[in-house]
A = this chain, B = another copy of it.
């Protein structure tokens, strides 16, 4: 799911940033690349390690600043329940991000379910609540893992590609 469109996503991200008049600098692009190349969400320190494989030694703030930018631009999402980040594969239009997170293989699937969005909206407005940032993350077992191993043990965050 990540693999097929990593380059295309990068290209579209560049176009988006140009259109918005914001700068997709080398560092930011690098972080986005690393995230899009991974099948699983990566922690900030996983990204940091991946970047250190290149030339110089970097520090946490560099990665966090890049992530802040990418989050603002909607190019990546944060998975709150994992303290980790994923690249967004359809950042052109804003969307309520909803995730299915496999506890076994660690893959994260971003979905956009109109029913969930609607239910959330009506539940919120019923309380007079004005929603800003919905966090919908369903932890469970993906179909592949459910088949192969009826009960398996959890995984950790990292592991590039």
Contacts and interface: CB of A to CB of B under 8 A. Distances in A.
Interface of A: 80-81, 98, 100, 102-103, 109, 111, 113, 115-116, 118-120, 122-124, 127-143, 146
28 contacts: A80-B80, A80-B81, A80-B135, A98-B123, A100-B123, A100-B129, A100-B131, A102-B129, A111-B127, A115-B115, A115-B118, A115-B119, A115-B123, A116-B119, A116-B120, A118-B119, A124-B140, A127-B143, A130-B140, A130-B141, A131-B139, A131-B140, A132-B140, A132-B141, A134-B138, A135-B136, A135-B137, A136-B136
A132 B103 contact: yes
Nearest to A113: B123
Nearest to A117: B119
Nearest to A150: B130
A140 to B, nearest CB: 4
A98 B123 CA distance: 10
A118 B115 CA distance: 9
